Each structure stands twice: as C-alpha cells, then as structure tokens.
Chain A
Amino acid sequence: MSAAFVTFDNVSLAYDGSGNAIEDINLNIHEGEFVAFVGPSGCGKSTFMKLCTGLHAPTAGAIQVDGLPVTGPLKVSGMAFQNANLLPWRTTLDNVLLPLEIVKPYRHQFRKRREEFKGWARTLLKTVGLAEYEDKYPWQLSGGMQQRASICRALIHQPRLLMLDEPFGALDAFTREELWCVLRDLWDVQRFTVVLVTHDLREAAFLADTVYVMSRRPGRVIEKRNITLPRPRALETTYQKPFIDLVQSLRAQIGDVRST
C-alpha cells in the first residue's frame, strides 16, 4: 500500500453553538483502500463525508487529500447517496454522463468525444447489469436499478475517491446484497479509494478493508478494525462463522457505545 491518500489530523466540526458534531478525528486512508464508517445514527457519519470531500470546512484540525490541504470541494471524487438523485428528464445513459459534462478536463472535450464517453458509460452500465436500460428514464427503473445507475454516475469520470453515503440503505435485503457484489467487483477491477458510510455492519464487514466505529455525538472514532477476511470474498462467507463472529464483535462495540 502506498502513502496516506486521505489524512485527518485532529479534525473537529461544530455546525453552530450546539457543540461538536464530530471531534478529534485522526486517521489515514491509503490509496485504493476500502474504508467503512459505522456507528449509531446521528454520530456524524455524513458530516465526515462532507469534510472529506471539502463540502464543509472543519472548525479545528486539518484535512489533506492526495498530499494537499482540502480548501474547497474536491475535484477527484464521486459521490452516491441513499437516494439515487437521478435527473428525471435525462435517460439513464445521459444521467451517467452528467459528471463528464462538469469535471475538467472532460467538460471541454464533451462535444468532441461524446461517442467515446458514451462507450464508457455503456461499459459501466453493462458491468452493473443495466445494459438494456440506457434509454429508460429513472422513473421507469426500480429502486435497485436507480442505485446502480447512481453508482455508475459516481464512477464515470474515474474518480480516485468514491464517497458512498448509505447507498444501499433504502433497498430490500436481496437487492442490497446483489449490489454489494456489484460494488465489490467494480472495486476489484479499478481499485479506487472508497469511503462507505453505513449503519449495516454486515455490509461494512463484507466490503471494507478497514472499519471505523464511531461513537455517538459528538462523533469520535472509537475503534479501527482491519478486516482480514481473504479476498475475493463471496457472499456466502457472510453466513459463515468467522464472518458472523466479526460482525458480532462489531455489534457489541456499537452496543457499548449506545449504553454509555
């Protein structure tokens, strides 16, 4: 693994007078690492995302991404949320293409290289199983399909950092597990850095290299757990003893957090 890609150095953030939303965060994320943040609701997981992408500035401490201090919104990241947030007036393909109309240097080449870009989008859509849906509008897709498209949109410009804010939270259990595998395979091939915020411990343990457990507000990192399960991980492993033990011990930690 290479040197730290994302560095948090004593970072705290207070939105207003109501105290810190997150407090004293120190961590290093390596390039290509898959990191998951779990914690009780309201623990500042989403705040962490906003800090990491530069949408918010910390009130104390310093954040570095790729060796440079974060001063404004990052330009190397892609983002997906619990809601797919696709634009209803664009087809799936056009939705996936949207970042290329905005990110430099693609935005200036968009007209010239349109067909090439479409090819990228089609390849991505194919890997997530949406090949036949590129001309459909978002409202013609199921929730799971929309989320797949949303992940494609987050990846189309080949970001070095993928931020996922509970992306599978609104999906049913089967679709969710299916999309875990989709994400796992995409990551396996491209090895971008992923920060996944979730409240699903199985999800975190199945996908991530490192799981950070956060305390209740003000959010602090109370545990860093390296997941040493061998890769590639099959979905079946999530039903086997070592995995279940792992999830249980994480669960116990969250339980401790809640009771104190």
Chain B
Amino acid sequence: MTKKSKLIERLAPWIAVAALVLVWEATVRLFNVPSFIFPSALETAQALVTYAGPIGKHSWQTFWTTLIGFGLGVAVGLVLGFIIGSSRFLYNACYPLLVGFNAIPKVAFVPILVVWFGIGSVPAILTAFLICFFPIVVNVATGLATLEPEMEDVLRVLGARRMDVLLKVGLPRSLPYFFASLKVAITLAFVGTVVSETVASNQGIGYLMMSAGSQMRMGLVFAGLLVISAMAMVMYELFALLEKRMTGWAHRGQDR
C-alpha cells in the first residue's frame, strides 16, 4: 500500500499538468475561442514543433543571458549579504535601502540600461541580475545576523575573532538560507531577462513572443510562454536538488 501511495505521490505533478492541459483544450473548444485570441493546447504544441528552430535559438539566448545575470546576482548577493550580515550596524543601515531598491519595478530600469548599454544582451543580463540578487542578499544576511549569542560565546571564550565566528558558524549556518534563496532567485532571473527582451532586444524568447504577438501568431506566443516556464522549472528543480545535497542536515526529519 505504501508503495502504491508513493508512486501516486511521484506521479501527482504530472497528473496535475495533464489535467491543466485537458482543461485548457476543453475550454477553448467548448467556448469556441478563436485561435488568434487564445490558442488551444494542440495549436500551441503544433507551433512548438513548427517553429522548433527559431524557438530553440531564442530560448538559448534567453537561457545564457539569464544564467550570466543569475551568476552575477549570486556573486554580488553573497558578498553583499556577508558584509551586511556580519555587522549589526551595516545591517540596520543598509536594510531599508535594499528594501526600497527592491520595491522599484525592475522594468523601470530597462530604458536606463538601454541608454547606457544599447539594445541587446547587456540590458537583459543586468535586469536579470538586478531582480535576482535581492533575495540572496536578504537570506544570507539574515542567516548570519540570527546567529545564537550562546554559540558566539562558546567560540569567543576560546579566543575566536569575529572572522572565526563568521566562517566556522555563521557561513555554514546561513547556507540553507542561501540555497533556498537560489531557487527563488533563478526564477526571478528569468523574469528579468524576458521583461528586458520584450522591451529592448531583437533576440531571446521575450523578443520572439513580442514579435509573434504583433503578428497575431498566438500559438507561437504561447509556445514561448511554455518554454520559459519549462526552463525556469528545470533550473528550480536543479537548485532544489543542490540544496538537498549541500544542506541535508537542515532538512532532517522531512522524509525525502
């Protein structure tokens, strides 16, 4: 019985996807929605196959710009989070600033970035970076800042310097927070790239969808949507796996 219920649990996400596709197809057919408004699942799939070449090219563009932006976000996020989290003063000083910065819709940066760097990959990379570094900074800083004072005392009576405490306890302790934030950050990075591409690029999935939309080829637009979400999902799962691998100690008790 447990074997069977486990199998069902594993299949559940796929069943949900299949159900969604069915509802989609059925709704479109039932209400006879014209395909230039809302294409059916079948039409979207057809578009996916027909335009596989251009979709592949453009999604590759989106993929690597996102990864570069994400990589920048991780690097800057880690360093900034470490600095802010290691000092109460900096934490208090910079936190409101970061929150304020995060509240700005990142699409508002795109025109500025275009003025500075022109149209193309650079604004996309930078938008992805701008949108995804915030959760990393916050999580790393929080992980460091919430160190138990008793643990700190244990080390300080040994003559530990501030840096010892941070490296031996603070950093490992904030790793689960860090990996959790990577999952969020990678999906946000995709958002950043695509937003920038729709406004200021002539390549990438965002651009593809924009131009397909202007030609009323909605099948292709929806195919683009699917590809983005598929890429984001794969990356999310990858980082979820990495998180489990690296910080298994923080997820004890949850039956894998």
Minimum C-beta distance from A45 to chain B (A): 15
Contacts of A103 in B (CB 8 A): 158-159
Known contacts A88-B249, A102-B168, A139-B252, A75 near B154 by CB under 8 Å: no
The dominant DSSP class at the A interface is loop
Contact A79 B157 (CB under 8 A): yes
Given A73-B159, A102-B164 in contact, is the A81-B150 Cβ separation under 8 Å? yes
**Quick check: is A147 within 8 A (CB to CB) of the other chain?**
no
Chain B 142-154, CB-CB to A under 8 Å as 1, else 0, gives 0000001011011
22 A-B pairs within 8 Å (CB atoms) are namely A50-B153, A53-B153, A55-B156, A73-B159, A74-B157, A78-B157, A81-B153, A81-B154, A85-B150, A85-B151, A87-B169, A88-B250, A89-B173, A89-B247, A98-B168, A101-B168, A103-B159, A137-B252, A139-B252, A139-B253, A153-B154, A163-B157
Report how many residues on chain A are interfacial, defined by Cβ distance under 8 Å: 28
Query: Nearest-CB distance from A91 to chain B (Å)?
Result: 10
- Indicate if the CB atoms of A75 and B150 lie closer than 8 Å: no
CB-based contact B250/A75 at 8 Å: no
Interfacial chain B residues near A216, Cβ < 8 Å: none
Verify B172–A89 contact, CB threshold 8 A: yes
* Interface residue B99 (Cβ < 8 Å from any Cβ of A): no
| B155 located at the interface, meaning its Cβ lies under 8 Å from any Cβ of chain A in the complex | yes
Q: A88-B250, A137-B249 are in contact. List 5 more A-B contacts (CB 8 A).
A: A73-B157, A75-B157, A79-B157, A87-B151, A87-B169
Residues of A within 8 A of B154 (CB): 79-81, 85, 153
Bound-state CA distance A204–B247 (Å) is: 41
B158 A157 Cβ-Cβ under 8 A: yes
A102, B159: Cβ atoms closer than 8 Å? yes
Let me know if A83 is at the binding interface, CB within 8 A: yes
* Residue among B151, B158, B173, B250 making CB contact with A99, cutoff 8 Å: B158
B19 within 8 A of A: no
6 nearest CB pairs, A to B: A75-B159, A73-B156, A102-B158, A53-B157, A89-B249, A102-B160
Assembled-state Cα–Cα distance A74/B220 (Å): 70
Contact residues of A between 62 and 102, Cβ < 8 Å to B: 73-75, 77-81, 83, 85, 87-89, 98-99, 101-102
- Name which of A74, A87, A139, A153 has the most chain B CB atoms within 10 A of its CB: A87
Residues of B participating in the A interface, judged by any CB pair closer than 8 Å: 148, 150-151, 153-160, 164, 168-169, 172-173, 175, 247, 249-250, 252-253
The answer to whether A55 and B157 have CB atoms under 8 Å apart is yes
CB-defined contacts of B158 to chain A, threshold 8 Å: 75, 78, 99, 102-103, 157
| Residue A114 CB within 8 A of the other chain | no
Min CB gap A76→B, angstroms: 9
CA distance A78 to B172 in the complex (A): 22
Complex alpha-carbon distance, A176 and B177, angstroms: 35
Nearest residue, chain B, Cβ from A101: B168
Provide the bound-state CA to CA distance between A78 and B160, in Å: 12
Interface string of A180-210 (1 = CB under 8 A from B): 0000000000000000000000000000000
Q: Which residues of chain B are near A83, meaning CB under 8 Å? A: 150
Query: Closest CB of chain A to B159's CB: distance in Å?
Result: 4
Nearest Cβ distance between residue B156 and chain A, in whole angstroms?
5
Whose C-beta in chain A lies nearest to the C-beta of B250?
A: A88
The interface residues of chain A lying within 8 Å CB-to-CB of B160 are 102
The yes or no answer to A233 lying at the interface (CB within 8 A) is no
